[in-house]
Amino acid sequence: MNTASTPPRILIVSGSARPGGLTRTVLKLAEALAKKKGLDAEFVCARDLRLPFFGLEEDTASALHWRTAVQQCSGVIFGSPEYHGTFSGAFKNLIDHLDFPHIEGKPVGLIAVGGGPKSGISTLNAMRLMFRALHAPVIVEQAAVWGGDFMPETQRPRPELLQQMLAVVDGMSREIARCAQPV
């Protein structure tokens, strides 16, 4: 695991298959903020992993790499676009490739990216339920994001979005530290 001198390693995982989508932009922001807070953060995208549809070829090199990456990190921040009131198929496929030994007991942060100011909540709820089934504790802090959270003239994040994202990163740091404490 981590030593006192090694920063905790987290994955920032995009469950979007779109190469230039808003989910990627938001999660790259989370990655940058996590690095500023001293975490060893790595961005991972469902599109780049190229996992087969779960159940067809479960032990491909990409599936083994994905499982190992999750198993070896201290926590994971997952993000998904909202499709029809829930997470994307690419996100679900990522999770289907995991099992208890990979993620059980590992802190999880959630970010949903929707199409409007009131979207994302049902996606966050669905994600939370799925991780509960895998015995992965979801941190309290979460973010529901949409395109209006970026200033139209500069495409920079609005202060409210930065606060949400920092809360998720800080919550992840807190839970990693708490999980590292001896019982």
Domain ranges in the chain are 14-176
Around Cβ 5, how many Cβ atoms within 10 Å?
5
Q: How confident is the model at residue 177 (pLDDT cuts 50, 70, 90)?
A: very high
- Please tell me the predicted confidence (pLDDT) of residue 2: 52
Structure-token match 């999750």, residue found? 70
DSSP SS3 for 45: strand
Among residues of the chain, what percentage have pLDDT more than 90? 86
Residue 9: strand pairing partners:
40
Please provide the DSSP assignment of 107-156 as one string. Answer: -EEEEEE-SSTT-SHHHHHHHHHHHHHTT-PEEEEEEEE-GGGB-TTT-P
Residue 43: strand pairing partners:
12
Around Cβ 96, how many Cβ atoms within 10 Å?
15
Q: How confident is the model at residue 183 (pLDDT cuts 50, 70, 90)?
A: low
- Cα distances (angstroms) measured from residue 144 to each of 37, 59, 66, 99, 121: 21, 33, 25, 26, 6
**CATH no. for 14-176:** 3.40.50.360
Q: How confident is the model at residue 181 (pLDDT cuts 50, 70, 90)?
A: confident
